[in-house]
Chain A
């Protein structure tokens, strides 16, 4: 109640001349049909939406301020809490930006594992998006079918990183630890089981007549509008723009693997869903190319002044103890300069800006969150449509509150 009251004066002003018969509906902030704490104040005439406005900021933690106090490895835990549906991708984006500033190269083994985990988290994110879309418009069973496989991926992540949600995957210069025995086989099994499940999901939900009726042509946006609003990722590709940072500005080893970029046509809820479904298949394709070829070698770059030494060595060797002390107390010294690096996260272009003055902590950190840019178009997407469709539009955009508010 208090949360809504926060902006009451604004809405009283904006909607003060409500026509006869029009109703002001408060969808959120904790409405079950919104994911995370999102609020939409919607003016309706019967079932039609006349005007809408989004209110955000309920989970704002000002990570950009915290980033000025944390050192480069510490900020990693903040990135966990941005897009909490596909955490490892945020971690990897941050680590790549720091590594680019330090101009260090990591062994191929690290890059391979990072790419595999990236694609697994993309699959996770898309499964949540298409699954929840089904739930929101009344089809629960498809969601349960796919969530079983998401759980399999979570178990791999849990074994690898020790956590399910806040993975804090990777460190500057490598990974926290090496992959565990049986990693390759488990991921192969996950992929093998996921493929028929996707077909099943396709037949169960996507090809269902009711689903098609509820989603085709709903919540669409034109290419020009989408570009003007700063759309990126699957939501932009659903409008027909062939644009993927993995192809256009390849990072890691994406230029070495073979995959296709699916594009839609009208940017509607159905096309967004179809693009995401195809991206899951392409991600499996990428993982299958990488998983059997993980090179042997070290799980971190040989940089003792950047990467923390192993614990048993710290306790027994003087040199490692000194490095351990130096890294913990003085942090990593990143040369002064600025860097913007964009990676293709599950929702679109995730860009980290680091401005360093050569100190232990960055001078300024800025995160370009894909959600923040495309969610502002929500009133345009739902205006003139039905109230029930606005819920479907919202789920298909895949707005993650943690990333939106940052």
Chain B
């Protein structure tokens, strides 16, 4: 299955493909340029034979100090038609780069993309509501980056700040 999908992508979307060494993974995967993610996912979703119409998982990895390109966004697709075969699309991007949002293709990508933005600081272009999701809005830093210390860089005063700001806010309201 993966061979024929690769063949299909090479035939139609060769300008989006990145030649990269296959990783030691139990899921077959292909590497894509960020600008190709929306058209390729759209094509794989609507393709009659592959019909990879279910977005299974969306996450990212920080390869700081391990690989040349720092981040990788991972899209796991599943095909309910073909005995639930899975394929992973990997989009390597450098720090500061952004990825087009796939919410227009898969509605369910909304929160996972926000989570990746929240924890890795990878922005998604054309996302309907790109805000922090699990962390407070005034949180500083991106915790899942490898250069972020486990206990946070002096985050202990942040909670104090939160309380301070809002208590003052409340008091001024009541006046």
Contacts and interface: CB of A to CB of B under 8 A. Distances in A.
B108 A69 contact: no
A337 B56 contact: no
A228 B45 CA distance: 11
Given A248-B84, A372-B112, A339 B66 contact: no
Nearest to A4: B166
Interface in A348-406: 349, 351, 353, 355, 357, 363-364, 366, 368, 372-373, 375-377, 405-406
B27 interface: yes
Contacts of A1: 166, 170
Contact of B134 (A364, A375, A405): A405
Given A373-B111, A376-B110, A6 B162 contact: yes
Interface string A338-349: 111110000001
B24 interface: yes
Contact of B108 (A6, A228, A339, A364): A228
Given A57-B135, A349-B56, 17 more contacts: A5-B170, A6-B166, A10-B131, A62-B144, A65-B148, A227-B80, A228-B106, A230-B106, A338-B25, A340-B27, A353-B59, A355-B61, A364-B61, A368-B57, A368-B59, A377-B107, A406-B134
B63 to A, nearest CB: 8
Contacts of B119: 62, 64
Nearest to A242: B80
A100 interface: yes
Nearest to A53: B129
B110 A57 contact: no
Interface residues of A, number: 49
Interface string B46-77: 00000001111101011000100000001010
Nearest to A62: B143
Q: What's the dominant secondary structure at chain A's contact region?
A: mixed
Given A6-B136, A229-B107, A243-B80, A353 B57 contact: yes
A69 to B, nearest CB: 6
Contact of A340 (B61, B76, B134, B137): B76
Interface in B134-152: 134-137, 143-144, 148, 150
B133 interface: yes
B139 to A, nearest CB: 10
Interface residues of B, number: 46
A10 B6 CA distance: 43
A10 B108 contact: no
A197 interface: no
A65 B163 contact: no
Contacts of A229: 107-108
Contacts of B108: 228-230, 373, 376
A364 B62 contact: yes
Contacts of B111: 372-373, 375-376
Nearest to A2: B166
A248 B83 contact: yes
A65 B150 contact: yes
B166 A357 contact: no
Contact of A56 (B80, B134, B144): B134
A337 B23 contact: yes
Contact of B24 (A2, A338, A341, A376): A338
Contacts of A337: 23-26
A80 to B, nearest CB: 19
B169 interface: yes
A335 B84 CA distance: 27
A177 interface: no
Interface string B1-37: 0000000000000000000000111110000000000
